[in-house]
Amino acid sequence: MHKLLHNLSGMVTPTPKAKWNEPLVQTDIAIAIENDVIKEIDAPQKLIEKYPDAEKIDGKNYLALPGFVDPHTHPVFCKTREEEFEMRIQGKTYEEIAAAGGGILNSVRAFRQTSFEEIAKLTYHRIQKFLEYGTTTIEAKSGYGLSLEDELKALRILRKLSQLIPISIVPTFLGAHEIPDEYRNHRKKYIDILIKEMIPAVAEEKLAVFCDVFCEKDVFTVEESERILLTAKAHGLIPKLHADELHYTGGAELAAKVKAISADHLLMISDKGIAKMKEAGVIPVLLPGTAFFLGKKDYAPARKMIESELPVALATDFNPGSSMTQNMQLILSIASINMKMVPAEVLGAATINSARAIGMEKEVGSIEVGKKADIILLDVPDYNYLPYHYGINHVKMVVRHGQIVHQVD
């Protein structure tokens, strides 16, 4: 069954022939889709003649872009944490916020007390929002359960939702998000449980593709992170890492050492870390929405990374504590403004490079023949208008795997 996406103002996409930050811009173009895959990209008249029986999708003179790929999200949680947001604005410290009911561990307490069905329902609505804002693939982490049973609950929720929502969900096990209350004074015991029970169980049930660790001062050390990630690797899970976010710990160097697919955050990365990541082919995933949301002045050194020829990727970091947004378009604006990435760079970073950060670059991240037909239509005159007109939703239609899954007017 063929579909023909036509009447487009144009199409903008990274391509393998050009650099990730030099998008191909084409006008007078249509896209033929066969089932869930892009079949042909050519002049509209040519494709109309070649596929006379194709079901036509009217592009209403909007601009076609690849669906955004968001390679770092934490959507499986129970309660939101707006009280914590307000306290932070009032100048309360991290300790004061934690004592008053903020922080990851408070999310963990609520998560454990809430049923699979209830959290699945909350998460369903949150993930649906990604689609409305043009994201057709997300990576999604567990990490608010922190026990065997509750981490499996989070990952099983993701598996269930990936069958219910027309979005691609790539799951990550983040049992090493924090040390839970009951092991506060026995951290080694929790790490043993991660290694001996949780990782094998997650791998056995094939519930995750990646294993991530929050490697940070006062959370997991570089040595602990290495032990966890090497165990994960031995069980077939690909390493990822929250690295050098709030303090420099050598997380980027560790990501290179264990050949992680990505190292994420990287606000405090060292020059050596940049060089090591380049050498090992680790993708830097930058999350400027988090620095913005936390009211920080400092952002990750994106320009330095781009000058070192690292393929910078962007993500929302969607989570209830430090970045409460599903909107990749807003992330593009924040990345442009605060990390000095130009529009061509933020576009590549949110599509092909973010696909690379989750090992999906052969399927998604660009509009190319043979790739999944994950295409979004935006009401923008050109791609450089997108980060410029910030904070609103430009998406008019979302096509995922060849089906219209969201449409406005």
CB of 81 to ligand IZC, least distance (A): 7
Contacts of 390 (CB under 8 A, 6+ apart): 329, 330, 333
| Out of 8, 11, 65, 104, the residue judged to bind ligand IZC by CB under 6 A | 104
Residue 400 to residue 187: CA distance in whole angstroms: 43
Beta-strand pair 395-400/68-70: unpaired
Residue 300 to residue 65: CA distance in whole angstroms: 26
Query: Residue 383's closest CA among 23, 17, 19, 2?
Result: 23
What is the C-alpha R_g of the chain?
21
**104 versus 346: smaller Cβ distance to ligand IZC:** 104
Residue 268 to residue 249: CA distance in whole angstroms: 8
CB of 177 to ligand IZC, least distance (A): 6
Residue 94 to residue 304: CA distance in whole angstroms: 30
CB of 156 to ligand IZC, least distance (A): 20
* CB of 94 closer than 8 Å to CB of 105: no
DSSP state of 130: H
Residue 385 to residue 132: CA distance in whole angstroms: 19
**123: contact with ligand IZC by CB under 6 A:** no
What is the per-residue binding string for ligand IZC in 299-328, x denoting contact by CB under 6 A? Answer: --------------------xxxx------
**Which residues contribute to the site for Zn ion (CB under 5 A)?**
317
Residue nearest to ligand IZC (CB): 321
| Out of 74, 153, 400, 401, the residue judged to bind ligand IZC by CB under 6 A | 74
* CB of 133 closer than 8 Å to CB of 145: no
Footprint of ligand IZC on 183-222 (CB under 6 A): 214
CB of 328 to Zn ion, least distance (A): 15
* CB of 320 closer than 8 Å to CB of 107: yes
CB of 211 to ligand IZC, least distance (A): 15
320 binds, among ligand IZC, Zn ion, none (CB under 5 to 8 A by kind): ligand IZC
**59: contact with ligand IZC by CB under 6 A:** no
**142: contact with ligand IZC by CB under 6 A:** no
**262: contact with ligand IZC by CB under 6 A:** no
Positions touching ligand IZC (CB under 6 A) are 74, 104, 107, 214, 242, 319-322
